Amino acid sequence: MTTEQEYFENAITLENYMSQMESNQETSYSIYEKFEQPEDPEFIGLLTEKKPHILVITEDWCGDAMMNNAILRKIADAAGLEVRCVYRDQNLELMDQYLTNGGRSIPKYIILSEEGEVLGDWGPRAPEVQEFVMEQKAKLPAKDDPQFEIHQKTILGEISDGFAWNEKFWQAVYKDLRKTFTEALK
């Protein structure tokens, strides 16, 4: 069985992943450029000291990945961290070790020590973002409703727009990543 560290060693960098995106690339780069990371010397100092490796399970069609990966990259740039990505659909054996409520939800960030020990994981959403998504999905009619598909497309578009432009969501992701990474590294 392949270890998380072996996946990490064979994965592509987050920068290369973003440059190769076939979906959501422009929006992901826009978030990356516009996200204003808080002044946070304590957190960045912890990351710089501990130098965790971050293994990302992702796909470029995923709206959550579009937003979260851009924020993770900004954090990684500030702390000089190595972040590498594997595609979920090509790595189901790994993905199935990190299910969310039984589902293959992405992105998933696996926090590894420099030696490859799994210290923790995060994903796919910050709690505030999850609340927004659930509120939007609650507006959908029943699946057997003839209007379900058109309403679903509208709701998914609203969710994606929120990810692309709502800076409060970006800050919520940052705070939740900070919390999870800090707990894993202490």
> Domain holding 39: CATH number?
3.40.30.10
User: Per the domain annotation, does 144 fall within a domain?
Assistant: no
What are the DSSP E strand ranges found in 3-67? 12-13, 53-58
Does residue 136 belong to any structural domain of this protein? Answer: no
What pLDDT, on a 0 to 100 scale, did the predictor assign at position 150?
96
71-99 pLDDT tens trace:
999 999 999 999 999 999 999 999 999 99
**How does pLDDT run across 41-56, given as a tens digit for each residue?**
999 999 999 999 999 9
Q: Within a domain: residue 94? A: yes
Q: How many helices (H) and strands (E) does the chain have?
A: 9, 5
Task: Kindly report the average pLDDT of the chain as a whole number.
Answer: 97
Q: 12-13 and 53-58: which strand pairing? A: unpaired
Q: Does residue 145 form part of some domain?
A: no
Residue 79 zone, left/alpha/beta (φ > 0; ψ -120 to 50; rest): alpha
| pLDDT (0 to 100) of residue 87 | 98
Residue-level pLDDT at 1: 85
**Backbone φ, ψ for residue 105 (5° rounding):** -75, 140
Query: Band of the pLDDT at 166, cuts 50, 70, 90?
Result: very high
135 lies in some domain: no
- What's the rounded Cα separation, in Å, for the pair 176 and 28? 19
| 90 Cβ neighbours under 8 A, 6+ residues apart | none
Report pTM.
Answer: 0.95
